[in-house]
Amino acid sequence: MRERPPAPDPRFVVQDERFHAELSRASGNPALTEALVAVSERIRRVRMYDFLTEDRVGTTIAEHIEIMELVRDGRLDEGYRALHAHVGESMAVVLERAQRAMTQMAMHADRL
């Protein structure tokens, strides 16, 4: 998957959510996993903006693999930092794209 990531597709968000939920389940904290799944379902429509370009899909997959390799190798502190950076970058991309879309909508509201 690292060498041949799937094409950009907003539906990739479901696979991304699955990765994060499984990682959370592995932590052994079911309450955290339940909260994560609930939040993911609520914000899915916004998070879909993160998977509209090849680079973001490829980056997401590479980051997921890196996080899993760190966890597998017992390098949990590094895995935590990588996960934190991964989520932060994704959030920044989603916010930027959502703001751009809202700006475009506002600029063309008279044509709607």
Interval 37-87: pLDDT, tens: 999 999 999 899 889 899 999 999 999 999 999 999 999 999 999 999 999
Under the banding of pLDDT at 50, 70 and 90, the label for residue 112 is low
Asked whether residue 6 is domain-assigned, the answer is no
Within-domain flag for 5: no
Q: How many folded domains does the chain comprise?
A: 1
Specify if 39 maps to a domain.
Answer: yes
The whole domain housing 29 covers 12-111
**73 within domain boundaries:** yes
Assess if residue 4 is contained within a domain.
no
68 with 26: CB under 8 angstroms?
no
pLDDT of residue 50: 87
Residue 2 lies in a domain: no
Q: pTM for the full model? A: 0.84
Tokens 């935590």 correspond to: 80
CB 20 within 8 A of CB 82: no
**Cα separation values, 74 from 17, 21, 22, 35, Å:** 23, 19, 17, 25
**101 occurs within a structural domain:** yes
Q: How many CA atoms lie less than 13 Å away from 72 in the CB half-sphere?
A: 6
In a domain, 88, yes or no: yes
Torsion sign, CA atoms 17, 20, 26, 30: negative
